[in-house]
Chain A
Amino acid sequence: MTADLLKQGITATVHRIREGDFKLNLLEMGVLPGKKISFLNRAPWGGPIAFQLEENVIAIRLSEAKYIDISLSDQ
């Protein structure tokens, strides 16, 4: 599953970043495999999504969130 499908209140782990245009930008921003990620907010009309990424909050577009593979933690 990818990060754009993440629902409120669920914490997942970044599994990997898919190859593509945004991989480097996401890596530079600290979106790294193994990091805990959870959903915070979503801008209307398919706008950017805000995620809690460990201690930080980042916002990325829907199209970029599709590049982040996540795995749900069992809790």
Chain B
Amino acid sequence: MQVTEKLQSIQTTTVAIVGNPNVGKSTIFNTLTGLKQKIGNYPGVTVDKTLGFSEINGKKYTLIDLPGTYSLYPNSEDEVIAHRVLSSYDNKENPDAALVILDACNLERGLLLATQVMDIGIPMAIVINMMDVAEKKGISIKAHELFKSLGVPILLTDANSPKAIESIKKLIQSGNFQKAPQFLDIDLIFPAEISGRIQDRFGLHTPYQAFQLVRVMDSETILDIDQKKWLKESLASIELNFNTAQILETETRYKKISEILSKTIQKNPKGSKSFSVGLDKILMHKVGGYLIFLLILLLIFQAVFAWATFPMDLIDGTFAELSSWLTTNLPQGALTDLLAEGLIPGIGGIVIFIPQIALLFGFLAILEDTGYMSRVVYLMDRLMRPFGLHGKSVVPLVSGIACAIPGIMATRNIANTKERLITILVTPFMSCSARLPVYIILIGLAVPDENYGFFNLQALTLLAMYVLGILAVLGTALLLQIFLDIKGKSYLIIELPIYRIPQWKNVLMTMYSKSKIFVFEAGKIIITISIILWVLASYGPSSTMGEVEAEKEVAVQNLEGEALQEMENFYASRELEASYIGILGKQIEPVIRPLGYDWKIGIALITSFAAREVFVSTIATIYSIGGDVENELTIREKLASETDPVSGEKVFNTATVFSLMVFYAFAMQCMSTLAVVYRETKSWKWPTIQTIFMTLLAYFSALITYQILS
């Protein structure tokens, strides 16, 4: 094991890509690695890092794409990753070199980070990007002078030109990374005697690494209690206010940087009002800005629902065919059933959402790439704050329209713990695409397909369901804002980058990687659960189950064609009733009766606990619709004619249907989301509270809905 690890580390060189936000880091990373990317876990913590693989002239490289950060001291979850990868204290995960990307128009700020990386002692090179924009602004850089002052290789490029990537490749391939001389005399801030002892004990290379370790020791999970105690004891002899020390460090760095820049940079401002500022007058306008944002949202909405229909139908058909092909062509038996009825539909249930997720993230990537997203944060911050949310909460919430999973993962750049937690907890209330098939079936049952003036009633109802979701988001956020007792400063200090034309390759890459994250995150859970559910739905206590099976044997004996099909559908429903899940459904009936549900709907509630969309297929099976499950019209007709055997009333009456819709709007019917919330909050406390709260809210709201309408 160790031998192979060694071999690998000899064969591949690991290069971390570091830089401020909006410097074109991801473009460089994506162009260098293409689709050869994966998300890697960092040991001991729950944050991921994005790895990419690149082969340059036969030599293999592993590139790490670190989230944009302004300094090596982490402010948000996102920035923790950059900090950890670069200053990893266990030394195994250390990248071999760092490639620091700077924005040519923002050298001062970029160099703050770059000189911190220099002081960590990792071999590095600097890429000064966006030279094209800098030239337009009249900024010229004396690269050689800068190289002489800093002591690390420097490359001037514009990463959007094809030539630039070649030169970056050459730089990586030449291995021309250099350990920089110490930039900052950290001894002024942190006594050399103490840093020396810490360096020895933890095997650190530079005093600055020692200072950093001390700075983050309280949140550093790699340190054990003894180590922390030892560190605290070593510090006992000095007065060290971290905040003051860090401000002093930052100011000292800037002073030195500005001395260097005064000699190496020339600015001849061209004075022309930039295109960006003019565009901002419209896009950030008090009224117009919000209207445009609303229009963009509507466009995204339209795209996610209308354009995604075709590929979704295609995927749906393919999986249904695959299932039936397997049933006819494989030998009969439990394994075939598991494959055809459990596994394949389970996978299909995930794959079907890919078009919507890819489209949504394509749009979000365009908004991000053009620089518009920062304007959204600016516009929305004031509106979100009363609810305990942050301007940056908008992205997770909008993502939630497709799927809460990538939305929750997008909360990492929210620095304030409370705001981030609230965003995580309320995002699942956004009407995700898994609720859509449920809504569509139910609306078809209770709302006539008629026009009310200009509007279609069914479309209005659907819109109302989305509004309901948003109201739940705001209401719950407000409650959490009042009751959550978490302190921490909240701030909004963001750059509004100049507008740029999106890099289409980058957009496609984002669509691909987000879909991939979704497939793996949701996939492993949905598949596991769908297997469990299949077992529960296919087997039952042998006494009752055996009886039904024996009865079926006799009944189908002499039947053929349509009659046989009908009889089989009938028995599929009887078997489900006799299965474990059927028994469970009957047991919860007293609880859900006040909501207007019978035990059959109860079964659907249980099966769709793992994933909402399962409701449709379960309902189809249980009301013995059989055959082509996805034919909505068949399901609808069948359900509409379903009556209660006792009272003779319609099962799916208006009250029940609306009660069900409200239930699905609020209930936490998604195991994958729970798993992601667990990962992002690092405890079971929050997913548990979230599930209980959402389920109670769903239950009582559905109860009220039913009682009012019936």
Give the residues in chain B near A47, CB-CB below 8 Å: 378-379, 381-383
Cβ–Cβ contact A50 & B284, under 8 A: yes
Give the residues in chain B near A52, CB-CB below 8 Å: 277
Cβ–Cβ contact B493 & A55, under 8 A: no
Other-chain residue from B106, B246, B383, B496 in contact with A24 (beta carbon distance below 8 A): B246
Cβ–Cβ contact B378 & A43, under 8 A: yes
Chain B contact residues, majority secondary structure:
helix
Chain B residue nearest to A22 (CB atoms) is B491
Cβ–Cβ contact A46 & B382, under 8 A: yes
Other-chain residue from A46, A55, A59, A61 in contact with B106 (beta carbon distance below 8 A): A55
Smallest beta-carbon distance B259→chain A, Å: 13
Q: A52-B277, A59-B374 are in contact. Are A43 and B381 (CB under 8 A)?
A: yes
Cβ–Cβ contact B491 & A25, under 8 A: yes
Give the residues in chain B near A29, CB-CB below 8 Å: 70, 109, 493, 495
- Report the bound CA distance from A50 to B495 in whole Å: 9
Other-chain residue from A21, A23, A57, A61 in contact with B496 (beta carbon distance below 8 A): A57
Chain A residue nearest to B70 (CB atoms) is A28
Q: Mark B267-283, 1 if CB is under 8 A from A, else 0.
A: 00000000011001100
Q: Indicate whether B108 reaches chain A with its CB closer than 8 angstroms.
A: yes
Q: Mark B259-298, 1 if CB is under 8 A from A, else 0.
A: 0000000000000000011001100111000000000000
Cβ–Cβ contact B280 & A64, under 8 A: no
Most buried by B among A21, A22, A44, A59: A59
- Report the bound CA distance from A57 to B281 in whole Å: 13
Cβ–Cβ contact A57 & B280, under 8 A: yes
Other-chain residue from B71, B243, B280, B381 in contact with A48 (beta carbon distance below 8 A): B381
Cβ–Cβ contact A61 & B492, under 8 A: yes
Other-chain residue from B71, B280, B382, B489 in contact with A21 (beta carbon distance below 8 A): B489
Q: Indicate whether A5 reaches chain B with its CB closer than 8 angstroms.
A: no
Give the residues in chain B near A46, CB-CB below 8 Å: 382
Cβ–Cβ contact A24 & B247, under 8 A: yes
Most buried by B among A22, A45, A46, A47: A47
Q: Mark B105-147, 1 if CB is under 8 A from A, else 0.
A: 1101100100000000000000000000000010100000000
- Report the bound CA distance from A61 to B379 in whole Å: 11
Smallest beta-carbon distance A67→chain B, Å: 10
Other-chain residue from B254, B391, B496 in contact with A50 (beta carbon distance below 8 A): B496
Q: A25-B75, A47-B381, A56-B105 are in contact. Are A32 and B492 (CB under 8 A)?
A: no
Cβ–Cβ contact A64 & B495, under 8 A: no
Cβ–Cβ contact B284 & A41, under 8 A: yes
Q: Indicate whether B238 reaches chain A with its CB closer than 8 angstroms.
A: no
Q: A40-B280, A50-B280, A59-B494 are in contact. Are A27 and B247 (CB under 8 A)?
A: yes
Q: Indicate whether B250 reaches chain A with its CB closer than 8 angstroms.
A: yes
Q: Which A residues contact B (CB, under 8 angstroms)? A: 21-32, 40-41, 43-48, 50, 52, 55-61, 64
Q: Which B residues contact A (CB, under 8 angstroms)? A: 70-71, 75, 105-106, 108-109, 112, 137, 139, 243, 246-247, 250-251, 254, 258, 276-277, 280-281, 284-286, 374, 377-379, 381-383, 391, 489, 491-498
Report, nearest first, the 4 A-B pairs whose CB atoms are least far apart: A47-B382, A30-B109, A28-B70, A57-B496
